[in-house]
Structure 1
Amino acid sequence: MSLSMPSPLDIARREPANKVPIQVADHPEAQRDTIRRFAFFAYRGTDGLIGQEAGGRAWADALEALSSLAEPEEWIGGASSLVALPILDSYVRYTYQRLVMEDKIVTTADNEYAAFNTGLLTQYTEDIFALFQRNRHPSGQPWYFLRWATESDRDIMMHFPEAPQMTEYVTNAGDLVYDWRRDLKLNFEHILGDNIERFPPELAKAPHRARAAITAAIEVAIKRVRRNHKLVVPQWYPRLHDAGAQFLMPLDLTGDGKADLALVVSAVGDSYRGNTVLTLEMAYTNARLVARPDSEWLKPQAYPAGELDDVLVGG
């Protein structure tokens, strides 16, 4: 059976312009949640939930099922959140977004089934896929979520002889390692002008002190990364998806030996550009898309409740 890969435009064409998605029709959060506009996640409980409440529970149940199938990992983090598994929630939604960019959402030739590779493994190192069937509801999302399926799943083997491929965030191995010899220029106007509230309180009130602190913190970080290349962590940030190598550099702004913020760095020609600063919660979410961070300063942390959707789209 031959396979075809739809482009984002193809996916958009399948949805009527005036279509109202089932379950999540008017929910502002869901309107930004592209995977739930792509597929209907049915609530399979028996307690009679309907509408948005059923839609939210269905998505939460799907995440719980994926967490149970995948090898053990911390998906909750330390901050409170409206989502049961906030780190996994962001991981799945933005992995899907990246797969769409790469045209790796695979459909069968008869357009009856679709699937994508989650990038996660089971405890027995089998790839985990999201499996969908064409939605029969005329006014609903184009696809219906069936289940998370392993590479040995009968339906995956039968309908997808060439298994969907993982997303890729780098084009070569060198993009995973920060080159401390390159020049680094900072976008201070954006860092201090637009994101000063992310700095520790004593610096947020004094931009000039904040600038001096960030300059000193970078000098310390560069010294440390020369001795430990794992200190600067690769990441993916949607607004920079064409920027090549992207990294997160820890910034100890208060001198207590702990990272206060992460500097988002991207390659521009033969130099690096410091684009913005992220809180550690935001930084972990970005880094986890590329790989599970192996760094002492960046640990699993959920983004605070009510702000989850802005993690990967805020500058």
Structure 2
Amino acid sequence: MVHSMIHVPTPADVARRQSPEIGPVTEGHAEALRTFAFFPYRGPKNAPGSVEPAELGRRAWEETLSALASLAEPEEWTDSNPTVRPLPILDSFLRYTHRRLVMEDKIAVTADGEYAASNTGLLTPHAEEIFGLYQRNQHENAQHWFFVGWVAESNRDLLRNFDEPPQMAEYVTSASELVYDWRRELKLAYDHILGDNIDRFPPEMVKQPLRARQALDSAINLTLRRVRRNHKLVIPQWYPKLGEAGAQFLMPLDLTGDGTADLALVVSAVGDRAYRGHTVLTLDMAYTNARLVARPDSDWLAPSAAPIPAIDEAFDVDEARPVEV
């Protein structure tokens, strides 16, 4: 039987519905992915009670990430820095993509409420879109949805239950928001950058705010000169705390003069004539934000993983037992 999907609002609809946190009010879906759905462990079984729930949750999530990485076209999802998180870049990508889909009300649900699906934004090696497929969880006092699996757009269950495939998350409303306009004036939030985030600067500048400001101004002037000759140097991104702020970019900052980026400046459009430099991010944080919009094609921003959001930090100790679907 074919079911209809919920209404998918346009970017203009989304922009009109502001919330005090990171975006518009959603249709009730949990914005944390592992609160939205239960992800079961399907690997080798241990004796009942021999594995703690938190460990089962960790194994289940690692298994879930590995399955998606295997289905998707090849991409660097690991990190050059040691981490206990499996596939940390993919981990962050999935969590933030889900959050954006919830903001845009793009979680597709069948008319009978039995199935849900979401677009991961990834493709298989044969360019089929990849979706997360979920079934209503039969277990009470648990997540509303039970994860069935990652499926390609030709999957029989997806086609059987949804008239149209779920839509991708969108981070811009026009192509112009993907290119930095060097003719606009750039204003910096110095108090926030040098006051609240001075600890992100190189160690030798942390205790010397005046030196840090001089290095910041010099780095920005150098980057702006280069941007006029290579617009790809400034990368489009999506920063959750800015919500629907319009065009958002990451600008490399070479603060030490060694020819490599030390931090990235978060820039967003304000009106039609100016940009505002909101804050500075470490390069791992910057890569996470940029990868949501597109795979970065830049020499200065290599694959690296940022810490996961606080809302998602803990493995789901309270996850309900898997149910057969």
Q: Which TM-score applies when normalising by structure 2?
A: 0.86
2:249 is paired with a residue of what secondary structure? strand
1:3-152 aligned within 5 A: 3-4=5-6, 8-11=26-29, 34-48=32-46, 49-152=51-154
Structure 2: how far apart are the matches of 1:261 and 1:155? 45
- Structure 2 residue 288 is the aligned partner of structure 1 residue 290: no
Query: What is the distance in 2 between the residues matched to 1:222 and 1:72?
Result: 34
1:249 to 248, 251, 254: 251
Q: 2:4 aligns with which of 2, 5, 10?
A: 2
Q: How high is the sequence identity, in percent, across the aligned residues?
A: 62
- In structure 2, the gaps of 5 or more residues are 9-24, 314-325
1:181-192, aligned counterparts within 5 Å? 181-192=183-194
Contact 1:285 1:311 in 2 (8 A): no
CA distance in 2, matches of 1:52, 1:235: 33
Distance 2:98 2:123 in 1: 16
Shift of 1:308: 3.1
Corresponding residue to 1:165 among 164, 167, 181: 167
Report which stretch shifted further, 202-211 or 127-136.
202-211
Amino acid paired to 2:28 = D
Answer yes or no: is the 8 Å Cα contact 2:29–2:102 preserved in 1: no
In the TM superposition, residue 44 of structure 1 has moved relative to its aligned partner by 1.1
Alignment check: 8 A CA contact 1:286 1:312 kept: no
Aligned to 2:28, the other structure's residue is in SS state: helix
Shift of the 217–195 alpha-carbon distance from structure 1 to 2, 3 Å rule, reads same
* Kept in 1: contact 2:135–2:148 (CA 8 A): yes
- Conserved 8 A contact 2:92-2:305: no
Given the superposition, is the C-alpha separation of residues 312 and 144 from structure 1 closer, same or farther in structure 2, using an over 3 Å criterion?
Answer: closer
CA contact (8 A) 1:265 1:274 kept: yes
Choose which of 223, 234, 238 in structure 1 pairs with 2:240: 238
The one-letter amino acid paired with 2:221 is: E
Instruction: Note the 1:224-235 alignment, pairs <5 A.
Output: 224-235=226-237
Output one character per residue of 1:28-73: Cα deviation in whole Å (capped at 9) or x when no partner: xxxxx71111100011122423411101110111000000000000
Q: CA RMSD in A?
A: 1.8
Question: How many residue pairs are counted as aligned between the two chains?
Answer: 290
How far, CA to CA, are the matches of 1:207 and 1:40 in structure 2?
A: 46
Residue 33 of structure 2 aligns to a residue whose secondary structure is helix
Query: SS where residue 74 of structure 2 aligns?
Result: coil
2:270 paired with 1:272: no
Post-superposition offset of 1:160: 1.1
2:292 is aligned with what amino acid? L
TM-score (norm 1): 0.89
Q: Which SS does the other structure have where 2:277 is aligned?
A: strand
